[in-house]
């Protein structure tokens, strides 16, 4: 799931809308440690070049023409499409990738596809997404899920552990987000990373029942963390 790259793209598109970063700087920071990023637009939604892949330097100005208000992060999962409202082709691609970036006014959705050490972004026609809940709501829901899961796993003594996480592992932050939201983004990314690591083994479970219960609780935490991340990345406070 290309969560990190989708966070970088969404936050930098929103920073561009707020005139907090240049196209040149945003394009470099979106790519970050990847070898390269390219955008393919077979349906000519951006009006640049539908016959070949283009760079973010060329694509970003056209993205800002398509959407002038807000970009949203989607982290769909089986049984939970989040803010996605179609069409089916776009929803299917986003669900397969586990992530997408959408124009809040509709018309355009961008889905990441990993190609070795590079990333290709496929442009799709998309319906206007469901507006995101506030970061406060999703943070509260995440805290409740974490506490419930912690009690369950502690009672079984099967929580397991994995390598530590550092903020520098995740993303190049875009400017313009308030400190509270930046903290929420970092915590949600940390929780996603931790649960993915924990799901890689059974954490000392001694029965299939314990293993299934542990997996269920960890997935609940991961899903709540994904909701909190999508909200914190997508939410834009009204300008005074």
Q: Using an 8 Å Cβ cutoff, are 195 and 29 in contact?
A: no
User: Which strands, in side-by-side order, build the sheet including 118-124?
Assistant: 37-40, 118-124, 109-115, 100-103, 71-74
Output the pLDDT for position 153.
74
Output the pLDDT for position 169.
42
Instruction: Kindly state the helix (H) or strand (E) to which residue 39 belongs, with its residue range.
Output: strand 37-40
Q: How far is CA 17 from CA 22, 26, 45, 198, in A?
A: 10, 11, 19, 37
Which tokens in the block code for residue 125? 């026609």
Output the pLDDT for position 233.
93
Output the pLDDT for position 136.
85
Which tokens in the block code for residue 56? 């973010």
- 159: Cα separation from own chain's centroid: 25
* Residue range 59-96, pLDDT digits in tens: 999 999 999 999 999 999 988 898 999 999 999 999 99
> What is the spatial distance between Cα 62 and Cα 43, in angstroms, rounded to a whole number?
14
* Weakly modelled stretches of the chain, pLDDT under 50: 158-171, 238-240
Whole-number average pLDDT of the chain: 86
Q: Using an 8 Å Cβ cutoff, are 107 and 64 in contact?
A: no
Q: Using an 8 Å Cβ cutoff, are 17 and 68 in contact?
A: yes
Output the pLDDT for position 26.
96
Output the pLDDT for position 164.
41
Output the pLDDT for position 159.
47
- 112: Cα separation from own chain's centroid: 10
Partners of 111 in the β-ladder: 122
> What is the spatial distance between Cα 160 and Cα 168, in angstroms, rounded to a whole number?
24
Q: How many other C-beta atoms are found inside a 10 Å radius of the C-beta of residue 21? A: 20
Output the pLDDT for position 162.
43
Q: How many other C-beta atoms are found inside a 10 Å radius of the C-beta of residue 224? A: 24
> What is the spatial distance between Cα 227 and Cα 133, in angstroms, rounded to a whole number?
9
Burial (CB < 10 A; 0-12, 13-18, 19+), residue 216, is exposed
Output the pLDDT for position 211.
80
Q: Using an 8 Å Cβ cutoff, are 135 and 181 in contact?
A: yes
């Amino acid at each position: 799931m290309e969560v990190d790259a989708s966070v970088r793209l969404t936050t930098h598109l929103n920073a561009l809308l707020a005139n907090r970063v240049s196209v040149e700087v945003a394009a470099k920071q979106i790519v970050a440690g990847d070898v390269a990023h390219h955008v393919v637009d077979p349906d000519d939604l951006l009006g640049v070049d539908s016959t070949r892949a283009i760079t973010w330097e060329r694509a970003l100005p056209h993205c800002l023409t398509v959407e002038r208000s807000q970009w949203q992060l989607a982290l769909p999962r089986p049984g939970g499409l989040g803010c996605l409202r179609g069409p089916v082709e776009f929803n299917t691609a986003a669900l397969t990738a586990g992530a997408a970036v959408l124009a809040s006014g509709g018309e355009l959705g961008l889905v990441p596809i990993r190609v070795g050490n590079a990333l290709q972004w496929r442009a799709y026609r998309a319906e206007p997404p469901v507006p995101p809940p506030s970061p406060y709501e999703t943070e509260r829901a995440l805290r409740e899920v974490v506490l419930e899961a912690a009690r369950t796993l502690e009672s079984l003594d099967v929580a397991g552990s994995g390598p530590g996480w550092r903020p520098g592992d995740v993303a190049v932050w875009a400017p313009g987000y308030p400190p509270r939201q930046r903290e929420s983004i970092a915590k949600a990314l940390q929780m996603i990373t931790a649960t993915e690591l924990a799901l890689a083994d059974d954490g000392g479970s001694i029965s299939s029942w314990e293993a299934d219960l542990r997996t269920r609780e960890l997935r609940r935490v991961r899903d709540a963390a994904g909701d909190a991340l999508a909200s914190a990345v997508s939410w834009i406070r009204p300008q005074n």
